[in-house]
Amino acid sequence: MSDELDVLKAVTAELVRAGISDGMGMNDTSSEMDQRYRALLMQRTGEERLIMGCAMRDTARAFVEASLRAQDPQATVESIRKGLFLRFYGQEFDAERRAKILAAIESSAHSVDK
């Protein structure tokens, strides 16, 4: 996974150098449409927006879990939990902290097995 991230970082840097991107991601939505979309979202209640956000998170998790299972059909619950952590949050932590979190995931899985 680190190789993929390195490639993405390199491509982003090239796009920024070429003046094609500001490095903040692609946006092909006009300002007018973006404002209309935001207005539609803000018409919903806080509860409706929360439900939408939770549903999007659940969908993203299901996609990542399916991807992990496709890579390893025999994946354990522990390896799925580690994979989910790495995909969603792995780049948010330095290597030492990431290793501690992965060890905690592994340790909690073993304590459940007992």
pLDDT digits (tens, 9 = 90+) for 74-100: 999 999 999 999 999 998 999 999 999
Q: Could you give the residue ranges of the DSSP H alpha helices within the chain?
A: 2-17, 31-42, 46-71, 77-89, 95-113
Quick one: pLDDT band at residue 58, thresholds 50, 70, 90? Answer: very high
Mean pLDDT in residue range 30-45 = 93
Q: Which of 21, 39, 20 is nearest to 31 (CA)?
A: 39
| 2 or 95: which leads in pLDDT | 95
pTM, to two decimals: 0.65
Residue 21 has pLDDT above 70, yes or no: no
Residues 27/33/36/38 CA torsion (nearest 10 deg): -10
Helix axis angle, 77-89 to 46-71, nearest 10°: 120
The SS3 of residue 81 is helix
Q: How far, in Å, are 8, 38, 39, 45, 97 from residue 25 at the CA level?
A: 11, 19, 22, 29, 27
Q: Is the model's pLDDT at 26 over the cut of 70?
A: no
Is a pLDDT exceeding 90 seen at residue 23? no
